[in-house]
Amino acid sequence: MKIDIIDYESCSAAGVNISALRASLRQHKSGLIKNNLPGSAIDTWVGVVGEIAEVNDLGQWQSRNNALAALGYAQGTIRHTVTNLINQYGAARIGLIMGSSTSSIDRTEEAYTKLNQDHTLSEEFIQPNVHNPHAPALFAAHLTGIKGPSLTINTACSSSAKVFATGARWLATGIVDAVLVGGVDTLCLSVLHGFNSLQLLSANPCKPFDQHRDGINLGEASGFAVLQRAGENDNGRGIRLAGYGESSDAYHMSHPHPEGLGARLSMTQALSRAGLTPRDIDYINLHGTSSRANDLIEGKLISELFPDSVRCSSTKAWMGHTLGAAGITEAIVAMDTLSTNVIPGSKNLETLDEALNFSIKAADETKVCQHVMTNSFGFGGNNCTLLFSRAE
């Protein structure tokens, strides 16, 4: 079953929409700033979407996470595309799959700081659809008017990559006629301090795969894409979901398998499903968090599996590691190279880790790509690799 991507949009600290993101990538202008999260004194850098503050009219749906989802959905032509599909097929024939790791825990944190004197929730925070792991899809259904099957996937950092794989299966089995997939995660104290307790945060702007990298920076983002069976539309972007791979290491709660067994499996599955070889791939957007262990394991796998002709980069130095939204954010960066013919460089890379040897550069490259890949590897060994190709 051939699956087309007929629209996509991204919203992060690197750009509130895809046009702004493209400009930031070309100018090598990062959206990372020194940590200014209220209540946190951690010395690190974060990717904050300042425009979220303008979305404060969501009523019973109010949360920072939902505000970022609404902000992202308002960009570009995503809303128009979904509305047209609903008019064409009916709201019940459109599916909805969201990825997240925090859902709206930001709102729950705030609620606990403003409890009534009897330690009950104050009126404004009685929001059962917000204090809910399924909050992203519940809100997206409310926002879009989609009435088909909906799902929220939480597999840590691979969450919003796996939405593409699930969406493809829904389309292949005929459950729906189109699928809106998305991801959203926002900065909150639980996550920032949680990663700090794991000693993973850097006090410097992150340097994925660099010899002197010393940790990650967190960020927030939302992203959406619309999937449809190939041949059922005439307004596609010329981009096809050619393959995907999913695996689960179950090796450790937060550390990847030392030999990257699950990551290897997700990449080889994606290639097999697409009927392609490693040599066919033009560009890989790496998971590349800038942690010592993750970068080393992923980098060694890339050098083992792919020839030097395959160009690689990590783009987390632009917007930070956006956790549950990282999958779709970086999938959009990867697939957008099929439209722009520009492969982004790996920002802040100065000296490649001496233990690694693969094709990664700090500078951009102009190239007409045919097949591109993106990796998303989450805590607990939840891995997903996506492969996009030119539709023609």
pLDDT for residue 254: 67
Enclosing H/E stretch for 272: helix 261-274
Q: Is 157 a catalytic residue?
A: yes
Q: Which of 315, 65, 66 is nearest to 209 (CA)?
A: 315
Catalytic residue among 188, 287, 312, 369: 287
CA–CA separation, 217 vs 289, rounded Å? 8
Q: List the chain domain ranges.
A: 3-390
Q: What percent of the chain has a predicted confidence (pLDDT) above 70?
A: 99
Q: Tell me the pLDDT band of 301, cut-offs 50, 70 and 90.
A: very high
Confidence (pTM) = 0.97
Neighbours of 305 (CB within 10 A): 18
Q: Is the pLDDT of residue 231 over 90?
A: no
Q: What average pLDDT does range 350-361 have in this prediction?
A: 96
Catalytic residue among 188, 257, 321, 371: 321
Q: Is 80 a catalytic residue?
A: no
Q: Which of 102, 108, 105 is nearest to 126 (CA)?
A: 108
pLDDT for residue 133: 95
pLDDT tens digits for 52-93?
Answer: 999 999 999 999 999 999 999 999 999 999 999 999 999 999
Those residues with Cβ within 8 angstroms of residue 80's Cβ, 6 or more apart along the chain or in another chain: none
Q: Is 212 a catalytic residue?
A: no
Write out the two tokens for 56.
């404060």
Dihedral sign of CA atoms 329, 5, 280, 23 in order: negative
pLDDT for residue 232: 79
CATH architecture, domain defined by 3-390: 3-Layer(aba) Sandwich (3.40)
CA–CA separation, 209 vs 257, rounded Å? 18
